[in-house]
């Protein structure tokens, strides 16, 4: 596959950030860790990776703006293009030595995600997609899973956690969905959940309370892999509302039907 100049820039920046994360992952006990809120950790590994992404991308596309998890917004002279960055998705996993984390880099044009790269440097998996050009993992084309029955499906989800989310509602959803699927999973890294749906590993995924940087790249990946993406009201306001549900169209619709029924 031939990479566009834009994708080449994105991949180089993400790989460089990934190398920084891997160095820190090897010395996790020496990191400076602080809390942004209950159960919401950040470390200097997150900040270093974000700085690398910012600097590489600003050098390559000086006019684009930024939305970054740790440093917030930077306006660009080009008002329509904006990088959406999660330098380390799955910080809690990372800090526990669990190799399920990712760099997630999306590009939005006029608020719509048009390109995405998600990279797990611990497994050396690189997921990339550009609008209209398909989705790839390590340069091989990927597609969402073709299963049409919830009963055959493995579905990933995000759980409410300390300080965030509605535990009672999740309990009802689990009660309704658990008996209808062949497995429920929770990775702790929403960007990876989306990449893994794009790659056909998970048949579907939903989560509430996410931020644009958790989803922007993954939305492009799932769509370009032939999947469907919506918010939990069946609309397309994922980035604004912070909730998302994905899968092939049958699974997404059936999953949404179960979740809306509880
Ligand atoms: C978190 C992860 C996690 C999700 C949380 C996110 P972070 O991102 O994606 O899977 O359940 O809602 O905040 O903070 O590790 O980048
Ligand atoms: Ca975080
Ligand atoms: Ca995240
Ligand atoms: Ca993060």
What is the tens place of the pLDDT at every residue in 14-68? Answer: 999 999 999 999 999 999 999 998 888 999 999 999 999 999 999 999 999 999 9
Q: What's the N-to-C CA distance of the chain in angstroms?
A: 44
What pLDDT was estimated at residue 210?
96
pLDDT for residue 132 is more than 80: yes
What pLDDT was estimated at residue 162?
76
pLDDT for residue 163 is more than 80: no
pTM summary value: 0.97
Sequence-distant (6+) residues with CB within 8 A of 104 are 85, 86, 89, 116, 117, 118, 191, 213, 214, 216, 217, 218
Residue 69 counted as an annotated binding residue: yes
Is 46 near ligand 1, meaning CB less than 6 Å away? no
Cβ atoms within 10 Å, residue 257: 11
Residue 86 counted as an annotated binding residue: yes
Q: Which domains does the chain have, with CATH numbers?
A: 5-141 (3.30.540.10), 150-260 (3.40.190.80)
Rounded to the nearest 5 percent, the helix, strand and coil shares of the chain are 40, 30, 35
pLDDT for residue 218 is more than 80: yes
Residue 146's nearest CA partner among 204, 232, 195, 193 is 204
Which ligand 1 atom minimizes the distance to the CA of 93? 15
Q: How far apart are CA 94 and CA 17, in angstroms?
A: 14
Q: Give the pLDDT mean for 181-187.
A: 97
Q: To test ligand 1's pocket by mutation, which of 191, 210, 243 has the most ligand atoms within 8 angstroms of CB?
A: 210
Distances (CA, A) of 73 to 78, 191, 203: 14, 20, 33
Is 190 near ligand 1, meaning CB less than 6 Å away? yes
- 88-113 pLDDT, tens per residue? 999 999 999 999 999 999 999 999 99
Name the pLDDT band for 228 (thresholds 50, 70, 90).
Answer: very high
- High-pLDDT (> 70) share of the chain, %: 100
The interface predicted TM-score (ipTM) is 0.98
Q: Give the pLDDT mean for 124-144.
A: 98
What pLDDT was estimated at residue 146?
98
Which ligand 1 atom minimizes the distance to the CA of 161? 11
- High-pLDDT (> 90) share of the chain, %: 95
Nearest-ligand number for the alpha carbon of 93? 1
What pLDDT was estimated at residue 2?
84
Is 243 near ligand 1, meaning CB less than 6 Å away? no
Residue 55 counted as an annotated binding residue: no
- 196-210 pLDDT, tens per residue? 999 999 999 999 999
Is 214 near ligand 1, meaning CB less than 6 Å away? yes
Is 232 near ligand 1, meaning CB less than 6 Å away? no
Residue 156's nearest CA partner among 96, 207, 107, 198 is 207
Is 189 near ligand 1, meaning CB less than 6 Å away? yes
Q: Which residues surround ligand 3, an ion (CB under 5 A)?
A: 86, 89, 214
Is 158 near ligand 1, meaning CB less than 6 Å away? yes
């Amino acid at each position: 596959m031939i990479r566009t100049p834009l994708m080449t820039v994105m991949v180089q920046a993400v790989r460089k950030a990934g190398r920084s994360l891997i160095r820190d992952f090897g010395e996790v006990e020496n990191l400076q860790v602080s809390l942004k809120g209950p159960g919401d950790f950040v470390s200097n590994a997150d900040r270093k990776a974000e700085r690398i992404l910012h600097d590489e991308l600003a050098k390559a596309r000086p006019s684009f703006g930024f939305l970054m998890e740790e440093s917030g917004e930077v306006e660009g002279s080009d008002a329509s293009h904006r990088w959406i960055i999660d330098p380390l998705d799955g910080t809690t996993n990372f800090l526990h030595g669990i190799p399920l984390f990712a760099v997630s880099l999306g590009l939005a044009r006029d608020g719509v995600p048009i390109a995405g790269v998600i990279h797990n440097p611990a497994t050396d998996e690189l997921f990339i997609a550009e609008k209209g050009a398909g989705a790839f993992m390590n340069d091989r084309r990927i597609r969402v899973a073709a299963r049409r029955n919830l009963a055959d499906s493995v579905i990933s989800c995000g759980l409410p956690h300390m300080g965030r989310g509605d535990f009672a509602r999740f309990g009802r959803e689990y009660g309704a969905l658990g008996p209808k699927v062949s497995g429920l999973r929770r990775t702790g890294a929403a960007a990876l959940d989306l990449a893994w749906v794009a790659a056909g590993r998970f048949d579907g995924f939903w989560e509430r309370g996410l931020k644009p940087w958790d989803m922007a790249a993954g939305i492009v990946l799932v769509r370009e892999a032939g999947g469907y993406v919506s918010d939990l009201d069946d609309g397309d306001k994922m980035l604004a509302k912070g909730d998302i549900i994905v899968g092939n169209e049958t699974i997404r619709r059936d999953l949404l039907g179960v979740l809306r029924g509880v």
